[in-house]
Amino acid sequence: MENVSFFIPQLTLGGVSSVTKKIAKGIIPNVKNVYILTLKKPSYESLYSVPEGIRVITLSNFFSFCKVLKKSKMVFPPSYHSVILSLMIYMFFGKKSVFIFDRCISSLINGGLYSKLYYFSMKLLVPISCRIVFTYKLAFEEFKNQYSSHKHKAVLIYYPVDENFFSANSNTGVNKNIDILYAGRLEEEKGVIYLIKAIEIIQKKNSDIKLTILGSGSQSVFLQDYCKINHINNVDFIGEVNNVHDYMLRSKVFVLPSISEGCASVIKECIVSNLPVVVTSVDTGGPQEAIGHGEFGEISEIKCPQSLAVNIEIALNKRYNQDFRSSVMVTSRVEYAGQKYIELLRL
């Protein structure tokens, strides 16, 4: 295969960028050239995180995009920019692309305006996509049921996990000095305030419980101020880091207190790292499925500190299903995902 290009509106260290870089890395052995196309000039840190063998191209205008497009098969991770460019590619060139989708249809139909717009975008994309990759089973099955005439386009490929998490897990005897860990964006939809309130509840019984928060976002100052005003101790705000796997190795429980969430790749990273996860019952069903509906973690109510507190305490004292974890490790390898993408790109 000659060229494959992945489109990311803005290249960053985490989120969709992180997952896309892993997928791109997995196909390198079977493709002549692998590109990441972006709209904004990446930071040095973002460029440094791109695996060797992948070329990053900043698209200064539509003509530069067309030049790359003529010689590439396109893969679009989820974003509104992806929807627009996919439509333009089909309109101008009659070329169908691969689209990655991380939401189930029912959650979009029943969601707010943003979700409904996303659902409308998906309806436009279905006929003009050569393949639609779903990142968890519920979304995959719902699509096949509702779009029976296009079900042949649906492919289930789980998000891959970087090799660092597999190698870090081989280290034994590491001091578990972090009780609770969160890693991700500090935005309202991530529900971190409810996690902090849950820690406040737990600390009334155990003042030594420790929470470490990795990441940044618009709520960073608000969350830190909340801890100060309410005298919540042992909450460390670390910011963005490049060695999340090291923190996971030293943690006892990971909490993802999201109000809205698709299929977060961080859950797979936790399971590979042998770190139980407490998730919330979001309407997409992605996080619940990722932990095997209780096989490797607990499920809490949304926006409920009391429920989070109870489930965190359960997770701190419970052993989870290692057979489930082993099955996750097989399908989470970068090489495994890469081979799956190569197979569908050849079709």
CATH number for 250: 3.40.50.2000
Q: Are residues 148 and 290 in the same domain?
A: no
Q: Are residues 122 and 245 in the same domain?
A: no
User: Which residues constitute the domain of residue 320?
Assistant: 163-330
pLDDT of residue 347: 61
**Residues ≥6 apart with Cβ < 8 Å to 89:** 69, 74, 95, 97
pLDDT of residue 62: 66
H-helix or E-strand spanning residue 48: helix 44-48
Q: Are residues 287 and 156 in the same domain?
A: no
Rounded-to-integer distance, Cα 333 and Cα 324, Å: 15
Backbone phi, psi, residue 235, to 5°: -115, 110
pLDDT of residue 173: 64
pLDDT of residue 1: 64
Rounded-to-integer distance, Cα 38 and Cα 41, Å: 7
HSE of 76, CA atoms in CB hemisphere, 13 A: 27
Q: Are residues 185 and 126 in the same domain?
A: no
Taking only the tens place, the pLDDT of each residue in 212-262 is: 999 999 999 999 999 999 999 999 999 988 889 999 999 999 999 999 888
Q: Are residues 230 and 305 in the same domain?
A: yes
pLDDT of residue 60: 75
Rounded-to-integer distance, Cα 144 and Cα 149, Å: 8
Rounded-to-integer distance, Cα 135 and Cα 138, Å: 9
> Which one-letter DSSP state was computed for residue 42?
P
> Which one-letter DSSP state was computed for residue 51?
P
Q: Are residues 215 and 235 in the same domain?
A: yes
Q: Are residues 97 and 194 in the same domain?
A: no
In the block, which residue shows the tokens 């943003």? Answer: 114
Question: Across-strand partners of 58?
Answer: 38
**Residues ≥6 apart with Cβ < 8 Å to 83:** 76, 121, 124, 125
**Residues ≥6 apart with Cβ < 8 Å to 112:** none
pLDDT of residue 84: 81
Q: Are residues 142 and 229 in the same domain?
A: no
Rounded-to-integer distance, Cα 303 and Cα 340, Å: 37
Q: Are residues 135 and 192 in the same domain?
A: no
* 334-345 helix and 15-27 helix, angle to the nearest 10 degrees: 70
Q: Are residues 179 and 250 in the same domain?
A: yes
**Residues ≥6 apart with Cβ < 8 Å to 113:** none
CA torsion sign for 90, 92, 93, 97 is negative
Q: Are residues 80 and 181 in the same domain?
A: no
How many domains, the chain? 2
Low-confidence ranges of the chain (pLDDT < 50): none
Q: Are residues 51 and 178 in the same domain?
A: no
pLDDT of residue 171: 58
